[in-house]
């Protein structure tokens, strides 16, 4: 096994510089081109369907449309040709190294393109579908890492493992047939590209070679996937050890599981992207090594098309221009995605956000800087807080009209000046360690959270619209229009905010769901009592182009159920529990339990 892996790396190393330069540019350029095209296609599909949010059920209905199948077929063809050109370049690199022929990246790229044109004819039509299936089947470990999730595992358990015997037998037969076809034709691309035969002849020649060396070929494919799996597992083990040690050293065990699952989620995304980029070059290197080892390739007439020196400098400049533009565009996409997920309107790419209700109010006094600081420390996405005006019109953070419950002073917020309220103790009621906590102003909170978390600012019903004016003014002062949302039970408050600026999102708070409220103007989302949220209501709100926030949810079962329903934002007193619950959905139960054991949770 190790010798074969060593041979694969030896082939890559010999052609390393050309392959590295090509792969870097090719993948970056492809991402730069196809990323906006994918977004455009999704937007066009949604516009044609008259939908503003694609639920899983709606996606299934779309796939029943013949036009969708045409689009998918076109996507498959483009993907296959993208992979075929990549494999043509790799085949050229390996063959030229075998011939000890030196060539530049541009010369190999140009020659590969010319060679690839020979493959595009009616006799090679089956090649498109064969290589699409082959790329997926050969890279079974990488494919598994991309599609495995709680939903797919549950579906497999329900419909296959616990399903009727005929389903199991049918699936087993299909797998055997597909892998037999793929394995028998595993060398056909090398033969097709390098030896110039059509697909049918190449497949027959490949099958003849495989029959003579079936077991070694099969074992190489199995060992290749096991090696990839071993690398992934080793990487996870190292990351897990580093995270466990880091959390212990930083004395953050109380939220260790949340940190671990949060980091693991981002690492999982990174690994999936990396595997997606590496699948073709690594697997094709392994296949090429077997092709040269097990087959007896006839004299290969592979001649490089040389680029004249007077054109070489120009083409090199074009290459660097493409590389720089690709890096710039991809950097722009990454930054833009961090600000707003362009695929947020698609259920399968949806990510539920977490809002700390009045800060981390389960561990610190509500609506105080201590609660807000802890919420940021707990990696919450949003902090929910309540704003009222003092008698001298300063927006301060307080939920109740009366100050009595949290400060012990029997007076209303609107009856005292800001300087008087600053003298009150808003922490002692919660615990002695919080004695001296002040009632913060909204401006103080905005300064603190900027760049750390987003705010969900609730305006109290019954207040004058002047409250909305003051809050919007402060948000604009600190340029936090994209970092704050404003909510209220009072629709007039929200309308006032929209009159002042359209840059701040507003949400209408509902205790119960009734009537046709989905189409309300001047509302970007609905903040609803979690008890009244059904899947049908969530889907209806999404299809109206609006988001759904659920309040106030403090147990793991409810959090998981709401996440499964597609709720966009969960408002909770315990953001650590919420993050653990949401991120554990797509994480092995063994890893979750191990994290809880290590951190004594």
3-state secondary structure of 117: helix
Q: Are 220 and 4 in contact (CB under 8 A)?
A: yes
Catalytic residue among 213, 350, 399, 542: 399
Comparing C-alpha atoms, which of 328, 339, 349 is closest to residue 32? 328
Sign for the CA dihedral angle at 228, 230, 231, 235 comes to positive
Q: Rounded to whole angstroms, how far apart are CA atoms 2 and 227?
A: 9
**Under 8 Å between Cβ of 137 and 182:** yes
230-235: long-range contacts, CB 8 A cutoff, minimum separation 24: 232/141, 232/145, 232/271, 235/271
Distance CA 22, CA 93 (A): 11
Catalytic residue among 213, 350, 357, 542: 357
The per-type count for the chain, helices as H runs and strands as E runs, is 24, 9
Active site residue 399: yes
Give the contacts of 459 (CB within 8 A, at least 6 positions apart): 387, 467, 468, 471, 486, 487, 488, 490, 493
Instruction: Name the burial class of residue 551, with classes exposed (0-12), middle (13-18) and buried (19+) by CB atoms within 10 angstroms of its CB.
Output: buried
The DSSP annotation for 501-512 comes to: -SSSEEEEEESS
Q: Report how far residue 104's alpha carbon sits from residue 304's, in angstroms, rounded to the nearest whole number.
A: 10
DSSP 54: B
Q: 173 is written with which tokens?
A: 């037969």
- DSSP symbols for 60-89: HHHHTSHHHHHHHHHHHHHHHHHHHHHHHH
Answer for the pair 352, 53: CB distance below 8 angstroms, yes or no: no
Strand-pair partners of 549: 527, 569
Residues 283 and 143 sit within 8 Å (Cβ to Cβ): no
Best CA proximity match to 510, nearest among 535, 531, 484, 481? 531
Name the helix (H) or strand (E) containing 550.
Answer: strand 547-551
- 243-263 b/e (C-beta count within 10 Å ≥ 16 → b): bbeebeeeeeeebbbbbbbbb
Q: Is residue 350 annotated as a catalytic residue, yes or no?
A: no
Active centre residues (catalytic) = 357, 399
């Amino acid at each position: 096994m190790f010798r074969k892996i060593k041979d694969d790396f030896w082939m890559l190393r010999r052609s390393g510089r050309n392959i590295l330069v090509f792969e870097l540019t090719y993948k970056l350029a492809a991402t730069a081109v196809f990323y906006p095209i994918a977004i455009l296609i999704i937007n066009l599909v949604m516009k044609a369907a008259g939908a503003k949010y694609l639920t899983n059920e709606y996606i299934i209905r779309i796939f029943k449309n013949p036009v969708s199948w045409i689009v998918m077929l076109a996507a498959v063809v483009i993907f296959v040709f993208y992979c075929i050109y990549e494999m043509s370049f790799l085949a050229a690199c390996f063959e030229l190294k075998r011939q000890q022929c030196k060539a530049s990246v541009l010369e190999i790229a140009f020659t590969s393109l010319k060679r690839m044109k020979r493959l595009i004819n009616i006799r090679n039509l089956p090649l498109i579908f064969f290589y699409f299936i082959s790329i997926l089947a050969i890279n079974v470990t990488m494919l598994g890492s991309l599609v495995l999730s709680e939903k797919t595992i549950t579906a497999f358990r329900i419909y296959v493992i616990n399903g009727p015997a005929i389903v199991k037998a049918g699936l087993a037969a299909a797998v055997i047939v597909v892998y037999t076809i793929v394995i028998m034709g595993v060398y056909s691309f090398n033969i097709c590209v390098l030896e110039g035969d059509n697909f049918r002849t190449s497949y027959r020649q490949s099958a003849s070679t495989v029959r003579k060396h079936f077991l070694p070929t099969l074992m190489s494919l199995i060992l290749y996937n096991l090696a990839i799996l071993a690398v992934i597992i080793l990487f996870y083990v190292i990351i897990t050890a580093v995270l466990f040690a880091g959390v212990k050293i930083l004395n953050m065990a109380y939220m260790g599981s949340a940190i671990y699952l949060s980091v693991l989620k981002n690492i999982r995304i990174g690994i999936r992207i990396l595997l997606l980029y590496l699948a073709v070059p690594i697997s094709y290197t392994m296949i090429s090594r077997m092709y040269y080892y097990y087959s007896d390739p006839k004299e290969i007439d592979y001649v490089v098309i040389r680029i004249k020196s007077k054109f070489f400098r120009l083409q090199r400049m074009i290459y660097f221009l493409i590389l720089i533009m690709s890096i710039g565009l991809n950097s722009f996409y990454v930054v833009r995605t961090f600000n707003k997920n362009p695929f947020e309107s698609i259920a399968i790419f949806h990510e539920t956000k977490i809002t700390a209700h009045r800060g981390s109010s389960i561990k610190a006094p509500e609506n105080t800087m201590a609660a807000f600081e802890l919420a940021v420390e707990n990696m919450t996405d949003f902090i929910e807080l309540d704003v009222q005006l003092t008698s001298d019109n300063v927006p301060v953070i307080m939920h109740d009209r009366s100050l009595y419950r949290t400060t012990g002073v029997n007076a209303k917020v609107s009856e005292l000046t800001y300087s008087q309220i600053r003298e009150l103790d808003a922490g002692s009621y919660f615990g002695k360690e919080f004695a001296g906590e002040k009632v913060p102003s909204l401006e103080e909170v905005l300064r603190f959270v900027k760049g750390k978390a987003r705010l969900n600012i609730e305006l109290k019903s019954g207040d004058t619209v002047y409250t909305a004016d003051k809050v919007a003014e402060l948000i604009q002062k600190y340029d936090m229009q994209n970092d704050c949302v404003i909510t209220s039970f009072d629709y007039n408050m929200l309308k006032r905010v929209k009159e002042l600026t359209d840059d701040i999102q507003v949400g209408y708070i509902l205790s119960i769901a009734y009537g046709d409220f989905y189409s309300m103007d001047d509302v970007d989302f609905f903040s609803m009592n979690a008890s009244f949220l059904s899947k049908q209501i969530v889907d209806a709100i999404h299809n109206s182009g609006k988001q759904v926030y659920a309040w106030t949810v403090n147990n793991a079962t409810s959090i998981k159920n709401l996440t499964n329903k597609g709720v966009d934002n969960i408002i909770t007193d315990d953001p650590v529990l919420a993050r653990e619950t949401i991120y554990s959905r797509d994480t092995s139960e063994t890893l979750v339990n191990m994290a809880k054991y290590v951190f004594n949770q």
